[in-house]
Structure 1
Amino acid sequence: MALEDAKNEVDTAITRKGLRGYAFENAFGGAASFLRRTYTKDLAGVDLAVTGVPFDQAVSHRSGTRFGPRAIREASSLMPYDPPPGWGTDPLEELSVVDYGDVAFDYANVAEFPETLTAHIRGILAAGAGSVVLGGDHFITFPILKAYAEKFGPISLIHFDAHSDLWPDDNPLRIDHGTMFYKAVKGGYADPTTSVQIGIRTTTEDYLGVNVITAREAHEWGVATVVEKVKGIVGNRPTYLTFDIDALDPAYAPGTGTPVWGGLSSWQAAAMLRDLAGINLVGGDVVEVSPPYDTTGATAIAGAHVAYELICLYHWAKTKR
């Protein structure tokens, strides 16, 4: 869409002709799809589907992340005007990226939710697209990984978080945002030896062979060393990146359910994501944005930026595959 034409458009998430291009309408008006991408349930010709999962029934402390996808979308309205700085690529012009809306589920039938989400992601992958998911609490990554493992085999996982989420849980009926990676490893969905967690600053007795870079190590080593180690661990294997917003210190992301001091700064996270260019990213998510505790909107803004970086990483990987 040409700039002059776009300036005369409103609600480009609905009126855009084609699936590519930027949006130049007022940030404070219009349909708030992610980055003003076209809202559609048609995956024909789509490279990447952004989809929301407004689920928070697995939290152990503060709820509210069911409102995360909506807040992240709204925050992204500030961003779809120019190519992302520093990447040297133009994913919104070169990829067909859509907002696929939110997964539909029965909030009162929690036991049914995991398979509902797996089927939702399975449908995106079957259409030949990748997914970037807006959460929602962190449990949602488990049913997503199940769909990815069905397609790619045991996936390599890059996991930004304050918590390992590897606490033991052998009850298949429990739905918990602190045990799902234990189940992902035990179930064969994630390969622990080629997976890595970054920013961890809580105690776990057994990491099940997953590589761990603590928050202190990240601070003391610096971005370049962290990225070098991560790339060495995942190699060129199909990789899924999950970003719990509480990987950031509460000073940068207060709007989350289980904040822990001593976390990454915004600039560290941004630099790490940028420098991970070259990994074989097949999908990702950003989770645990809780608007009720996000009084300034800073956490949703951070979540929107993380999601945009995931799009850039996916674009880079797709052009190199």
Structure 2
Amino acid sequence: MSLPAPDDPPDGPEIAIVGIGFDVGTHPSRIGARGGPGHIRQQSRLLRPHLADRGPLDLGGIVDWGDVRLTPGRLDSLLDDATPALAEVVASGAVPVVLGGDGTATFPVLRALAAAHGPLAVVHFDAHTDAYPDAPPGADAGAEPLTTATTFTRAVDEGLVDPARSIHLGVRGTTFQTEVCAHARRLGYAVRTTDELVALAPAELTDLLVTHTAGRPVHLSWDMDVFDPAAAPGVATPEWGGLSAREGLAFLRALEPLDIVGADVATVSPPHDLGGTTGLLAARVVLEIVHTLRAGRGARRA
């Protein structure tokens, strides 16, 4: 959206858009989420800065921080390079809104935010929990414990999140393992399937999340596969039966009362994105998050 780069040194931005162009490169058929940040930026040129049904949005105080310099496919680079880069954003006083990247790109964001704010309440919209057991069937004995499927398992292990105040929303579809939702619940997370989510009105979701996250700063993690592939085909692992674009945007607007200290938008895969529709919808999600952050902070100050 032609946002400015930060000053050098950064001069107190309120919100920073940050790209983490990373995927682990182990998906059996869809590699490409590493190109997500640039793709979302490209499609954002089609957006206007004002949301007609929500009033004008002043984009002052928002910067595009650029992309973290790292090597896609190397987890050591993700953890060693992205964590301090995000810590720098947080230290500037800005709320990071991260463009992924696959689900592992969320992990260094959680590390940086938890170091500043303590254990987080995670509100995770995704077709998958990403809180699977450590070793999926058939995995090598020395398999890397951090994968796109275990991001939120590792986050509990490291004390980055408070699972009792965290929730996975929109879960559905096929899995390689049984009882994945049960495992997430054993870790302490709440889990709502897509059917349970769409049964809620946005105001009911607001009440649920305000109560569930009470007392904790919130990280919002929005995986684009929470949308139905009819709305967002260009994702790493599409699952039929997801949210429509209208439903997803309405649920985003229900998050204004939450104390959101960081957010990420994950798993846009440009090689699989027909006509750029997923990238454009992801850019709109980012704009909605920015508006939600602004509106929520304004309400709390009032």
Q: Tell me the TM-score range normalised by the shorter chain.
A: 0.7 to 0.9
Task: Give matches, 1:2-41, under 5 Å.
Answer: 35-40=1-6
Q: How far off its partner does 1:317 sit?
A: 3.3
Q: Over residues 232-269 of structure 1, what are the superposed CA-to-partner deviations in whole Å (9 max), with x where a residue is unaligned?
A: 21135311101000000111111011111111111111
Equivalent residue for 1:193, pick from 164, 167, 179: 164
Distance 1:59 1:306 in 2: 27
Total equivalences in the alignment: 284
Query: For residues 41 and 292 of structure 1, do their structure 2 counterparts lie closer, same or farther at Cα, with a shift above 3 Å needed?
Result: farther
TM-score normalised by length of structure 1: 0.83
Whether the 8 Å CA contact 2:23–2:73 is kept in 1: the answer is no
Q: Deviations over 1:38-87 (max 9, x none)?
A: 1246321211110111111255341101111111101111223x422333
Alignment check: 8 A CA contact 1:83 1:92 kept: no
In structure 2, the partner of 1:64 is 32
Match of 1:289 among 253, 262, 268: 268
1:46 aligns with 2:13: yes
Aligned-partner Cα distance in 2 for 1:52–1:76: 14
Structure 2 SS opposite 1:50: strand
Q: Does 1:123 align with 2:102?
A: no
Q: For residue 279 of structure 1, give the secondary structure of its aligned residue in structure 2.
A: coil
Aligned to 2:132: 167
TM-score w.r.t. structure 2 length? 0.88
Corresponding letter in the other structure for 1:242: S
**Structure 1 segments of 4 or more deviating over 6 A?**
none
Q: Name the SS of the counterpart of 1:66 in structure 2.
A: helix
Structure 1, unaligned runs of 5 or more: 1-34
Query: 1:262 aligns to what?
Result: 241
Aligned to 1:206: 183
CA RMSD of aligned residues (A): 2.0
Higher relative contact order (CA 8 A, sep 6+): 2
Deviations 1:90-141 (A, max 9, x none): 2414xx0011110001347542321211101000111111110001101011
Alignment of 1:85-164 (within 5 A): 85-88=52-55, 90-93=57-60, 96-107=61-72, 109-164=74-129
Cα distance change, pair 87–59 in 1 and its aligned pair in 2 (3 A): farther
Q: Is the alpha carbon distance of 1:306 and 1:188 closer, same or farther for their aligned partners in structure 2, counting shifts above 3 Å?
A: same
Question: Aligned match of 1:78 in 35, 38, 46?
Answer: 46
Deviation at 1:194, TM superposition (A): 0.9
Please, which of 214, 235, 238 is the counterpart of residue 217 of structure 2?
Answer: 238
> In percent, how many aligned pairs have the same letter?
36
CA contact (8 A) 1:249 1:260 kept: yes
Q: Is the 8 A contact 1:240 1:282 kept in 2?
A: yes
TM-superposition CA deviations, 1:166-213 (whole Å, max 9, x none): 112288953311101001012110111111111011451311111111
* CA spacing shift, 1:92–1:143, aligned 2, 3 Å: same
Distance (Å, rounded) in 2 between the aligned partners of 1:149 and 1:116:
17
